[in-house]
Amino acid sequence: MATGGKACDMTIILHGRPPAVFDPPAEAIQTSPLIPGSAPLEDLPPGSVSAAMVYAPPGVLERRHTLALALRALKPGGRLDVMAPKDRGGSRLKKELAAFGVAVEETAKAHHRRCIAMVTDALTGLEAAIAAGDLQWVDPVGAWSQPGVFAWDRIDPGTALLAHHLPSLKGAGADLGCGYGALATVVLRSEAVTGLRLVDLDRRAVAAARRNVEDPRARFDWADARTLPAEGDLDFVVMNPPFHEGGSEDRRLGQAFVRQAAGMLRTGGVLWLVANRHLPYEAELSAAFKRFSPVADTGGYKVIEAVK
């Protein structure tokens, strides 16, 4: 990869996981908020990076935010190499980059569009794009959130249905895939809840949840919920599990969440979950729980209570 800079002062960043056909750099600082432990792109000093490869996210505000942050982090002469599937933002990349004042070379490969741009001093519009995609107060939701976070500017109907049916919970529990904290806020209305662990793979979701859930009983983990220690000591778990990985439906994700919840609960502990009606979680629920029952089935969603 050409980087424009001396080997000794080359900082290379990689944002996300581009397909291998794009030859992602092996030695690079990972900056995706969806990879726990990565470095926040927004924290990189302006002009500190020699080259960046960005697997651009699909949402417009999120993508422009990411591109603007990468351009700000690059040195003049630095190289930005961006790609996205053609139908998930790829066909807009060239225009979006040109609007930041960079000259762009575009190619097509493996159903993606790839754009390469060299950074100059003539960048424009970065701060506005960064602000538009940043953590922000969202009035219709009544919460802090950020473009890219699940249902960032609306209340998800599945979440609303589960919130409506949740009883007053007791003891210690977890919210797996907490998003910006919509379910956690409802759970913590019960004074009998002694502690709640909010877990999400998305750093932006965890940051928003911290702002939204100012309760000393809450603690926050930026982590893959599937890798948490399953200590079998929780009284309850709530979740609206994810079922998309890299843009396509992956039922195994939600199924793994069901098994993970079972491992974290004590015998007699309860799982409250909401899912799109067509998602097949019943086999996992049967295998890992003593009993489970549908509590609601409406608007394309099902709410299930399962007792371990």
Contact residues: ligand SAM, CB under 6 A? 150-151, 156, 159, 177-179, 182-183, 199-202, 205, 224-226, 240, 242
Of 18 and 181, CB closest to ligand SAM: 181
Q: Which residue, among 240, 201, 242, 246, has the nearest Cα to 223 in the 3D structure?
A: 201
Of 96 and 202, CB closest to ligand SAM: 202
Cα torsion for 14, 205, 92, 1, to the nearest 10°? 0
Phi/psi at 280 (5° precision): -90, 90
Q: Which residue, among 235, 223, 228, has the nearest Cα to 195 in the 3D structure?
A: 235
Q: Which residue, among 213, 237, 211, 209, has the nearest Cα to 225 in the 3D structure?
A: 237
Of 257 and 289, CB closest to ligand SAM: 257
Of 106 and 221, CB closest to ligand SAM: 221
Nearest-approach distance from CB 275 to ligand SAM, in angstroms: 9
Of 70 and 198, CB closest to ligand SAM: 198
Which tokens go with 301? 């969603």
Which tokens go with 69? 């942050």
Site of tokens 């919970």: 169
Nearest-approach distance from CB 189 to ligand SAM, in angstroms: 15
Of 42 and 224, CB closest to ligand SAM: 224
Distance (Å, whole) CA 93 – CA 222: 29
Determine contact, residues 240/274, Cβ cutoff 8 Å. Answer: yes
Of 16 and 179, CB closest to ligand SAM: 179
Site of tokens 């219709």: 140
Nearest-approach distance from CB 192 to ligand SAM, in angstroms: 21
Q: Which residue, among 30, 72, 55, has the nearest Cα to 203 in the 3D structure?
A: 30
Three-class SS of residue 92?
A: helix
Nearest-approach distance from CB 85 to ligand SAM, in angstroms: 19
Q: Name all contacts of 286-289 with Cβ < 8 Å and 24+ positions apart.
A: 288/258, 288/259, 288/262, 288/263, 289/262
Of 117 and 238, CB closest to ligand SAM: 238
Nearest-approach distance from CB 170 to ligand SAM, in angstroms: 20
In the complex, which residue's CB is closest to ligand SAM? Answer: 177
How many H-runs (helices) and E-runs (strands) does the chain carry?
A: 8, 17
Nearest-approach distance from CB 198 to ligand SAM, in angstroms: 9
- Residue 133, burial from CB neighbour count under 10 angstroms (0-12, 13-18, 19+): buried
